[in-house]
Amino acid sequence: MSRKRPALVAQLRNRLPRGGPALAFAALGSIAFAGCGIGAPEEAVSTPVPIASQSVSQTIELTRGVVETALRRLELGLIVPTVPFRPAESTALIDVPRGVYQAVLANDPDAGFVAIYEFPDPAAAFEAGRAQAGWLGSGPGAIQNPSGTSHVLRLIGNTLILYTYRPDGPAGARAADVATALESIGQGIAIPR
């Protein structure tokens, strides 16, 4: 077998045109340099960011319905956001299935995000909620949000609802109204101060 391999390599080598490896290297080099921005416009070009469609479980969808009903009482709508959003999360929430929604706040289209997390059972949701509350009240969690930020953590069955807002932000009282609506559903988890 060792005799066949050198013979095969010699046959392949004989079939390559002279300078073949050098030509291949030059072609690869040009392809690499083409992606380096040579000839690119000097100004940044804005392109739309694709938004992945949100696929959520029936459990998250049911909790979303409860949230939407609570918001409707205050004449607030709830939509699937048109921009990606991920709240500041403790390690207890990072890998958990979630649905993200947005309360419609006319004065602040960049606020009103409500995240709903699904856990295997209510006890796991409660423990994760306590971990998130402790983290938000700690130094590492507190620095993830601007000064004056408030949070609402609510449990409904095996789901956890997280809403973060700034009472002094552009949405002002309407952002606080979302918090009030959410505080009327489920069981609250206090965040240490």
Per-residue pLDDT at 145:
79
The reply to whether 103 and 158 lie within a common domain is yes
The reply to whether 23 and 74 lie within a common domain is no
The count of structural domains within the chain is: 2
The reply to whether 98 and 179 lie within a common domain is yes
The reply to whether 175 and 86 lie within a common domain is yes
Cα separation of 126 and 93, whole Å?
12
**Tokens standing for 10?**
């010699």
pLDDT at position 174 over 80: yes
The reply to whether 29 and 67 lie within a common domain is no
The reply to whether 97 and 167 lie within a common domain is yes
The reply to whether 100 and 179 lie within a common domain is yes
Residue 130 — pLDDT band, cuts 50, 70, 90? Answer: very high
**Tokens standing for 99?**
């649905």
pLDDT at position 25 over 80: no
Per-residue pLDDT at 146:
81
Q: In what order do the strands lie in the sheet with 187-188?
A: 78-79, 98-103, 113-118, 159-165, 150-156, 187-188
Q: Would you say 158 and 122 are in contact if contact means Cβ atoms under 8 Å apart?
A: yes
On whether residue 165 sits in a domain, the answer given is yes
The reply to whether 74 and 144 lie within a common domain is yes
Tell me the residue range of the domain where 14 lies: 4-34
Name which of 115, 111, 92 is nearest 170 in CA terms. 111
Cα separation of 190 and 193, whole Å?
9
